[in-house]
Every structure is written in C-alpha cells, then in structure tokens.
Amino acid sequence: MKTEIAAPRTHLYEQVAEEVAQLIGQRILRAGDRVPSVRKLMAQKGVSRSTALQAFQLLEGRGLVEARPQSGYYVKPQREHLLPEPEHSHEPDTYDQIELEGTAAKVAEVIVSFRHHPEYAPFGVATPSPQILPNRALNRVLAATARQAGDAGNNYDFPPGHVELRRQIALRAPDAGYQLAMDEIVTTFGCMESLNLALRATCHPGDCVAIESPTYYGLLQALESLGLSAIEIPTHPQNGVDLLALEATLAKRKVAACLFATSYNNPLGSCMPEENRRALVQDILAPRGIPLIEDEIYADLYHGLARPKSCRAFDTEGLVLVCSSFSKCLAPGYRVGWIVPGRFGQRVQLLKFMNTLATATHPQAAIADFMKSGAFDHHMRSLRKRMREQVARVSEAVAEYFPAGTRVTRPAGGFVLWLELPGNANALRLHQRALAEGISIAPGPIFSAGQRYQNFIRLSCGYPWTTRLEHAMMTLGRLAQA
C-alpha cells in the first residue's frame, strides 16, 4: 500500500518571511537596508500585525535581519559577505624605537594627492560627507549666536575656553563613564591641537611614545614635528592594543607616554574591552606613572547600543588625558575640539595660551548652542545609524568585488575599514592607479612609522552609497586583482 505524505503546510507568516528573504537573496535588499516596516508589510501583503511580526522574528532567527531599537528591522551582512578579518598587526617582538624623520612629508605627499580633488570617489579621507552633516542648521545657529553676542563675540575667549561649550561637554561625560567639572576641560582647535598639547605637556623632545600599530597618520606627523620617536605596539582589530606586548615593551624601554585611540582606532576600528581599559590604566600605567593620551574622536560613533567607557573612567591618578573634537560628527571645518588633561591641566592651559592664545569664539558658541537645543543629540542618533549602514555597504562591496583572499575588519564603531590584500599587493601602487581612475584610497604604509602594511589599504565609508561609489568599488576590486 502506498503511503501518502502530506506536503508540509506553510503558515502565512512563513510565506511573508520567504518573500522578504528572496528580496535579500536577490540582493534587492542589501546589508544595512531598512526592511519595510511592520505597518508597510501589513498593508503590502494584507496580513495582520501578529503575522508581520512573526515573519520578522523568523527572518531574525535565520540571521537575515536584525532589530534596531526604535528604528525597525535591517538587513544583516550575510555570512558569505563576511570576509575574514586581518590578523594581529605584527609580531610582538619585532618592534623597535622608530625615528620619524621624513614620515610627515611622505604622508603629506599621499594625502595632498587626493585632498585637492573633491571629485574623486571619496574612500581616501576619513571625513563625513557634507550631505549627512546638519550644515545649514548649524550655520543658522552660527549667524544667530554671532548676532546675539554683538561686539562681545569678537573677543578672545582665553583658555580654558567657551563656558557654555565646556558645560555641554561636561554634561555628556557620564556617557563615557565619568563625571567632569567644566574647569577640567580646555577647548582647542580640533583634536589635532588637543593631541599636540597633550604630547607637549607629557613629553620632551627625544622622548619615545608608545602608539598603536597601525595608527592614524596625523599622529605620526605630530610626533615627528615635536621631535619624538615612536614604538609601535601590536594592535588587534577587535580588542585594540595587545597589553602583553605593551608590558614587554615597558620592561625594556623608557616610554614617556602612550597615545592610543581606544574606541574605534583609525584605521582598525578596534575597541578595547572594558577590563583591558581598567588593566591598562590601573595595573600597567599607574604604577609606572606613565600618562595615557586617549584619542576619543570616534568614540561617539558606536554602532551598538552604548558608547564605550573612556579610560578616564578608571583613572584615579589624573594620568589620562582625553582628546576629542567635533570633526568626525558635526563640523570638521569649524575646528573645535577639547582636551580633558587630568593632572596636566595647568601645563596644558599654559601651552594652549602660548600656542594659539585662544580658540575662535563664534564656532565654539554655535556648537554650544546647537548642543544646548538638543539638535546635536538628535543628529548623532541619525549619524550613527547612517555610518553603520554605510560601513555595511562598503564591506559588502569589498566581499563582492575584491580578489579572493582579501581580509577586512568588522568595526563596531567609526566609519573606516582596513583591508589586507592578498599576495604581494602593493598598496602605494594601487593608490596611484586608483587616483588615475578618479578614486581615492589611503594606502597602508602611511599608518605606520615603520612603513609596515605594504599590502593594506584603508577605505573611508563617510559618504552615502550611490551607483557611482558602487562602480568605484568595482574598479578598485579589479585594480586590486592585478
């Protein structure tokens, strides 16, 4: 006798989920895209709210979408688009003290080559696109604050700097895990001035500074201009500085300060776990009296639910100097930043005074007002979401167009990706060939004092995705094959 096997019955919610899954499979919906809302799905498919919700739960369970609080469901990067990550930056025992002579000029040569070509497909410079910054709103605030201030606005705002701006910065410090008084903050001309002041307050010419490897090229320029040398500490793409390697270095060499971007290092996007931050500050640096200059410029651009704590949250000795600015999130051209210099407060204020006398008054006032009105926090919420989506898009294009064997980071914040190209790829040559095709990238060697990372590149994801960028990624992938 023949047994009848009944075809498994599919529920309505499974059918709805399948239709959405097909859109993802056909790449009509792509990583980072918002999936139609529950309400839209109800109207589109003529289903009840609970069916639409069950469909989303099923898609979530299958790893196709993820829920984001108060925002809806988004397509997750698919496994086949998750390339392996680059490994540890270099062997712990290969580091040496590196004199930086000539580094600044080499870096400038590379950066200037695309800075002056705004028409290039912009994967080179790590700035947010002007399209995703609230420029018009901020400029209106600038005009209004300048009008209100009258003649008083055209005066020096001597260190420590604009009172309301410092109040607004202090108000947000608990997000980073610590309390701050206004007079513990000095405003500056961007994070670069903060870092320079921090280095000058803690080091003397000829001293050696421990840095991450790879690290932001501007830091290498700052070290060279101050006559400092560097020791590159191996840095992990997820966890940041290798603390064992750091301890081994400190046992052998005299280090005047450490300069780390603990929350989303540029270019790695690494984020030091909280326990490592505690150990770094309390177990490694405090007993040796070594200051930590913490570059926090990307810390507010987290992709998850909360901002990582600053190392300052674990500091009881005043040895952590926090440096940051509004350049990556609001207004690079306003040139407004700040430093929280810990026990080096007086020295930093004096250096600031000697260096630039005062920070420009109007940009500080405008940003302070923008923050006070609530517009800044609102903007940050949407900027974080955008950056996360843009990073997902570029990662996906790397998986699609770059040669087999390419590795790419999976940053949990910020908006840059660090790629390791297979074989004996030459990043500087790729950079030249990309420029000839109207595409800018940042070649790996400029992120190292020791000229490491010959086969690495950094891609900035600061611009909204367009077909032009997709074509540029296709071209880059083809050039990287060669």
Ligand X SMILES: Cc1ncc(COP(=O)(O)O)c(C=O)c1O
Kindly provide the b/e burial profile for residues 99-127, where b requires at least 16 CB atoms within 10 angstroms of the residue's own CB: ebeebbebbeebbeebeeeeebbbbbebb
295 binds ligand X (CB under 6 A): yes
Which of 20, 365 has the CB closer to ligand X?
A: 365
How far is the CA of 50 from the CAs of 9, 39, 42, in angstroms?
A: 19, 11, 9
Which of 249, 325 has the CB closer to ligand X?
A: 325
Residue matched to tokens 């421990």: 210
461 binds ligand X (CB under 6 A): no
Q: Which one among 13, 95, 120, 216 touches ligand X, defined by CB under 6 A?
A: 216
Q: Give the span between the Cα atoms of 156 and 352, in whole angstroms.
A: 13
235 binds ligand X (CB under 6 A): no
Contact 359, 188 (CB under 8 A): yes
212 binds ligand X (CB under 6 A): no
Q: Give the span between the Cα atoms of 99 and 32, in whole angstroms.
A: 43
199 binds ligand X (CB under 6 A): no
Other C-beta atoms closer than 10 Å to the C-beta of 130 total 12
190 binds ligand X (CB under 6 A): yes
CA 123 vs. chain centroid, Å, equals 14
CB of 154 to ligand X, least distance (A): 24
Which of 202, 266 has the CB closer to ligand X?
A: 266
263 binds ligand X (CB under 6 A): no
Which segment (74-82, 184-192, 286-294, 467-475) binds ligand X by CB under 6 A?
A: 184-192
142 binds ligand X (CB under 6 A): no
360 binds ligand X (CB under 6 A): no
184 binds ligand X (CB under 6 A): no
* Torsions phi, psi for 230 (to 5 deg): -125, 150
Q: Give the span between the Cα atoms of 446 and 431, in whole angstroms.
A: 12
Hey, which residues does 257 pair with through a beta bridge? 209
Binding-residue pattern over the window 110 to 129 for ligand X, x denoting contact by CB under 6 A: ----------------x---
448 binds ligand X (CB under 6 A): no
| Total count of residues recorded for the chain | 482
* Torsions phi, psi for 78 (to 5 deg): -80, 155
CA 250 vs. chain centroid, Å, equals 27
Q: Give the span between the Cα atoms of 319 and 54, in whole angstroms.
A: 52
Q: Which of residues 305-334 bind ligand X (CB under 6 A)?
A: 325, 327, 332
Which of 73, 216 has the CB closer to ligand X?
A: 216
Count of chain residues binding ligand X (CB under 6 A): 14
Residue matched to tokens 């309400």: 39
Contact 266, 354 (CB under 8 A): no
Which of 337, 444 has the CB closer to ligand X?
A: 337
CB of 406 to ligand X, least distance (A): 23
How far is the CA of 2 from the CAs of 143, 369, 442, in angstroms?
A: 84, 80, 68
Which of 83, 126 has the CB closer to ligand X?
A: 126
Which two three-digit tokens encode residue 391?
Answer: 């990073």
Q: Which one among 159, 160, 240, 337 touches ligand X, defined by CB under 6 A?
A: 337
390 binds ligand X (CB under 6 A): no
Contact 272, 234 (CB under 8 A): no
Q: What residue number has its CB nearest to ligand X?
A: 190
CB of 217 to ligand X, least distance (A): 9
98 binds ligand X (CB under 6 A): no
CB of 195 to ligand X, least distance (A): 6
* Site for ligand X, rule CB under 6 A: 126, 190-192, 216, 218, 261, 266, 295, 297, 325, 327, 332, 337
